[in-house]
Structure 1
Amino acid sequence: MVNNMTDLTAQEPAWQTRDHLDDPVIGELRNRFGPDAFTVQATRTGVPVVWIKREQLLEVGDFLKKLPKPYVMLFDLHGMDERLRTHREGLPAADFSVFYHLISIDRNRDIMLKVALAENDLHVPTFTKLFPNANWYERETWDLFGITFDGHPNLRRIMMPQTWKGHPLRKDYPARATEFSPFELTKAKQDLEMEALTFKPEEWGMKRGTENEDFMFLNLGPNHPSAHGAFRIVLQLDGEEIVDCVPDIGYHHRGAEKMGERQSWHSYIPYTDRIEYLGGCVNEMPYVLAVEKLAGITVPDRVNVIRVMLSELFRINSHLLYISTFIQDVGAMTPVFFAFTDRQKNLRSGGSNHWFPYAPGVVPYWRRSARPAARLGSPAA
C-alpha cells in the first residue's frame, strides 16, 4: 500500500525533462535551415518542441510535410498567453504564442512548432494552405486569444457569439461574472442581438441563389432529434435538393480552460467529466496522466489496472449509446431499450456518471456517503 505522495515521486527516464536533440527531425531541420534558425525547448511533453520565427512558419511546415517520412497530420493548433509564464531562460521573448502539433505516421513521432508573438503584433500567416483542417483551429484561436491569422478564408468567431466582446482565454480577461459590471439588457442591445442572428449567406460562403431563382436555407439544429448534440447545420436547398451545408458549433462550449485558471490541480478533476458528459471518468485519465507527467509521479501497476478497467467500462457505455441511437435513426426502437438496460447495469457505481475515481498518484478511497471533496487526495485503496 502507498502511504503518501512522497512514495510516488520517483522519476522515470521517459518523464524527465528532455530537449530531444537526438531526434532525427532536429538534425534534418538544422541541415535545411541552419543550426541557429530555431530554439529547441527542453520539456516533459515527450516530443520535440521547436520555437521558430513567424517568417519561417510556412516554409518549415512545408518542409516537414515533404520529408521522405513526412509529418502529414496537423493534430492540434492553439494559442497561449505567455505573459505570466516564469522560467523562460533560453526561450524567445513572447507575450503570446501559437503552437502547431504535427504527427508523422511513418515515423510514429510527433513534433511541436511554436511561434512567439508580441502583444502589439498578434499576426501569423494562416496554416490552411498546408493543412486545411487548420481552418477551425485558427478561428478558435482568434476567437479566444485575438491572434489574427493572415490569409484565413473566413476568420470569424466559432465558439463565442458574434456580438461577444473581448477574447476570453487571455489572462487579463475576467474568469467570473462577478468581475463584470452589472448586466443590463437595453433595447439597443436587444436590437443588436437580433441583427446578429439575421442569416447572411455570404458570411457562410454561400450564394443567395442563381440567376433564375433564390435558394432556400433551413436550420438542422441546434436542437433537433436527428442532430445528436447541440450543433447546427445550415442547409442550402435548390427546390428539394440539398446543394450545400455548413456546420455551426459552439453551442455547448463550457469554458473549461477558463474555469481551470481558478482551480487547484485536484479540484479541477470533476470538470473534466463535463467535457464529454456521457464519457464518465474517461476524460479524467488524460488529465491525471498529464499532471503526473509534469510532477514526475509514477503510480503502481494496480492503479493503472483500475484506471484502464474503469475507462473501458465507460468506453463500452459510449459505444452502447452510439450504436443504439444510430439504429434508432434508421427506424428501430427495440435495440435502444436493450442498450440502455445494459448501460444502467454498467453505471451501478453508487455515483452514476460523475464519481471521479482518479487523482494524481493514487486511486482515491471512495464511499457512497463521502462527499467528492473528501475523497480527493485520499490514500490509495
Structure 2
Amino acid sequence: MPLALVPEPPPTLADTIAAPLPPGGLLATQVTADDVACLWISPASLRPVLASLKARAGSLLMLFDLTAIDERERTHRDGQPEGAFTVVYHLLSLSRREDEVRIKVALPAHDPALPSICDLWPNANWYEREVWDLFGIRFDRHPFLRRILTPPTWTGHPLRRDHHARATEMPPYSLTEDHEQAEQEAMRFDPSVWGMKRHSEHSDFLFLNLGPNHPSVHGVFRIVLQLEGERIVDAVPDIGFHHRGAEKMGERQSWHTYIPYTDRVDYLGGVMNNFPYVMAVETLAGITVPPRAQMIRIMLAELFRIASHLVFYGTMAQDVGQLSPVFYMFTDRERVFSLIEAICGFRMHPAWFRIGGVAMDLPNGWDRLVRAFIDDLPARLDEYDAMVMRNPIFRARTKGVGAYTTSDAVEWGVTGPGLRATGLAWDYRRHAPYGGYDQLDFDIPTGECGDCYDRVAVHVAEIRQSLRIIRQCVDNMPAGPVKADHPLTTPPPKARTMHDIETLIHHFLSVSWGPVIPPGEARCCIEATKGVNAYSLISDGGTTSYRTRIRTPSFAHLQMIPQLCPGIMIADLIAILGSIDFVMADVDR
C-alpha cells in the first residue's frame, strides 16, 4: 500500500512576514531565550509588512504589545542591526500557539520616527503614545500624539538611559511663581487639545470631569466626558496619575530585589505578579523549577485570583447600587488572606516567589486550612448568585450594556474575562501552558453577548474553576525541594555556606548584589487576574535588568472605553467601568 502523505504544517507568522520582503527588507533574525520568532526589518518595510500580515492572518491576530528599547549603553548585541533605539511590535495569534512573533525596527539617535499603525490596530494608539512619552520616538500621522503617563510639562523622556532614575540625581526642587503659573496654565482644560469637537450645531454641550478621585472610577483615573443632555457624546480617558516608574526601577534593582516591586503593579494580584517576572528570569538563566515549587506557585496564584475576583464581584454590585454583597464578599476575601498569611507570612503583597522556586516550604497543617476553605466557598457563591446574578435590578443595569464582539476585543488587545465574555474560549493557561498548568484539569468559562453581565458571570465562574484547580493542587502536591539547585537562584541555600570560604563568598555576593544573569532576552506571560500579563526582560550580562517591560492587561482594556460610550448614560458608564475590572497601578505602572 502507498504511504500516506503527511500534510505540511501551515506557514507560521514569521514565514509569512519573511517571504514577501524586498531585498534588504529583512535585516536579521534574532535567537532569544524564549524561542519566540524575532525578525528585524527596515523602517520602510514596517507598514507594508504589518498591513499584509493583518490582511492574511485573519481576525484573531492581536497586537499584543508595542514598546521600545534604548540600545545606546547595551554591550551584548551580537548579530543585531545597529541602532540607538529599537521599537518592538509583539504580535500574538489566538488561533495557533506557533503564530507569535516579535518584529523589531532599529532607529537612529537623532529624530527617531516611524509611521503610526493606529489605522491597522486601534490599540496601537496608547502604546505609541507611551513610547513617545517615555522614549521620545515619534509616530508620524498619529491622531493624538501627546504625553500619556507623565505630565504635559515633563522635561525629557524617562525610559531613556540618560534620564535620571532618582530624585537625588537632580538638584533640589524649587517652584518659582512663573513656574507655578505655567503649571497651572497647563492644567487648564481645552476641549480641542483633547481632540474633542462639537458633534452638532444645534445643541449645547457640557464637559464633565469624572475623576480623577471619583470612587466609581476605581482609583486615580480621569475621564473627560462631553455630554448632550444626559447622554455621553464623547469620552477621553486620562491616565498617568498613578505612574511610579516601575519599569525604570527594574533597571536599578537586582534581579532578586525587584520581586517586591512587582507585587505593587496589580496590587490585588499579589504573587500573581511575581509569576511572569521570575519565570522570565528563569528562562534567561536556564533554571528548571522543581515540581513541588511549581504546584505551590499555582495554588497561591489561584488563591489570589479568587481574592481579586471577590473584590471585583462586590465592588461591581456596589457600583450599580447594591450595597450588601461587598460586605459578604470581603469577608470571604479575608479568609483567603488568612490562608495566604499562614503560608507566606504576609497578606496582600507577600513577594513570596523566588528565582528558581518559592521562599520556603508549606507550613504544617496547610492542607487542612486550604481544604476547609475550598469546601465552604461554593455554598457561599450559590448565595451570591441569588443575591446578585439573579437580582432583576442588577440584570437590568448590566445586560446589553457595554457589549462588544470577539473581533472588537482582539482589535483592542482585550484578554482575560473581557475576551472570554464574548464567547471565545481562550485562556493563556491552555493556549501556552506554563508552570505546571498542563497537569491540571479545568474548564474555560465563556459568555455570549460580551456585555457587562457576561463579564461578571465569567468572573464568577472562574472563581469556581480556581477552587477546582486548588483542590487538585492539594490532592496531588508532590514531595521534594521548593527551590532549584542552581547557582543563580537567590538567595542560595544557607546550610552550605559555612563549609568553606568559597561557598560563603558565593552566598554573600548572591544576596547583596544578586546573580549575574547571562546576556539575552526573554518574555513570559501568565493568565493574570485581569487578563494576560507579560514581563519582557533583557539582560546585558549583569546583576540588574537592562530593560524591564511590563505588559499589563488593564492598560489595553481602558483604551476601549471611548468606543463603548457614545449614546449611553453616565450611569451605564459606571457599570462599564466596574465590569472591566482594572487596577490603576496595573495601567500606569
Structure-2-length-normalised TM-score: 0.57
User: Is 2:269 aligned against 1:279?
Assistant: yes
Which segment drifts farther, 342-351 or 286-295? 342-351
SS of equivalent to 2:36: coil
State yes or no: 1:198 paired with 2:188. yes
1:165 aligns with 2:160: no
Deviations 1:97-130 (A, max 9, x none): 1000011223332111000001013011101121
Matched residue type, 1:262: R
CA displacement, residues 48-71 of structure 1 (integer Å, 9 cap, x when unaligned): 010000010001101211225677
Answer yes or no: is 1:92 the counterpart of 2:87: no
Secondary structure at 1:33's aligned position in 2?
coil
Closer, same or farther: CA 70–322 of 1 in aligned 2, 3 Å: closer
1:354 equivalent in alignment to 2:344: no
Q: Which amino acid aligns with 2:25?
A: A
Q: Deviations over 1:140-194 (max 9, x none)?
A: 0000000000110000000000011110000000101011111101111110111
Residue 353 of structure 1, CA deviation: 0.9
Aligned to 1:103: 92
Name stretches of at least 5 consecutive residues in structure 2 with no aligned partner.
Answer: 1-9, 364-488, 496-589
> 1:159 is matched by which residue type in structure 2?
L
Are 1:237 and 2:227 matched, yes or no? yes
1:364 is the counterpart of 2:359: yes
Which residue, 19, 30, 39 being the options, matches 2:18?
Answer: 30
Q: How far, CA to CA, are the matches of 1:210 and 1:28 in structure 2?
A: 46
2:33 corresponds in structure 1 to 44
Q: CA deviation at 1:29?
A: 3.1
Query: 2:111 aligned with 1:121, yes or no?
Result: yes
Structure-2 separation of matches of 1:200 and 1:102: 36
Partner in structure 2 of residue 75 of structure 1: 64
TM-fit CA distance, 1:245: 1.2
- Asked if the contact 1:69/1:104 (under 8 Å) is kept, the reply is no
Query: Is contact 1:159–1:250 with CA below 8 Å preserved after alignment?
Result: yes
| TM-score, scaled to structure 1 | 0.88
Task: Provide the rounded CA distance (Å) in 2 between the counterparts of 1:178 and 1:345.
Answer: 42
3-state SS in 2 of match to 1:153: coil
Where does structure 1 lack aligned partners over 5 or more consecutive residues? 1-21, 369-374
The question of 1:377 aligning with 2:377 is answered: no
Give how far 1:379 is off: 3.8
How far the C-alpha of 1:24 sits from its partner, in A, is 3.5
Contact 1:145 1:167 in 2 (8 A): yes
User: Any runs of at least 4 consecutive aligned residues in structure 1 with deviations exceeding 6 A, and if so which?
Assistant: none
The answer to whether residue 238 in structure 2 is matched with residue 248 in structure 1 is yes
Instruction: Tell me by how many angstroms 1:210 deviates.
Output: 4.9
Residue aligned with 1:243, SS? strand
Over residues 1-45 of structure 1, what are the superposed CA-to-partner deviations in whole Å (9 max), with x where a residue is unaligned? Answer: xxxxxxxxxxxxxxxxxxxxx973343333311575311111113
Q: What percent of counterpart residues are identical?
A: 54
Cα 1:376/1:229, change in 2 over 3 Å: farther
Whether the 8 Å contact between 1:278 and 1:353 is mirrored in structure 2 is: yes
TM-fit CA distance, 1:362: 2.5
Q: Given residue 91 of structure 1, which amino acid in structure 2 is its aligned partner?
A: Q
Contact 2:294 2:357 in 1 (8 A): no
Q: Is the 8 A contact 2:134 2:159 kept in 1?
A: yes
User: Per-residue deviation at 1:265?
Assistant: 0.2
Deviation at 1:343, TM superposition (A): 1.0
User: Equivalents in 2 of 1:87, 1:35: separation in Å?
Assistant: 27
For 2:90 and 2:144, how far apart are their aligned partners in 1? 22
Give the aligned partner of residue 411 of structure 2.
none
Q: Give the stretch that moved more between structures: 90-99 or 213-222.
A: 213-222
The answer to whether the 8 Å contact 1:145/1:169 transfers is: yes
1:378: Cα distance to partner?
5.0
**Separation in 2 of the partners of 1:219 and 1:98?**
34
Task: Give the Å deviation of 1:134.
Answer: 0.3
2:127 counterpart residue number: 137
Using CA pairs below 8 Å that are at least 6 residues apart, which structure has the higher relative contact order?
2
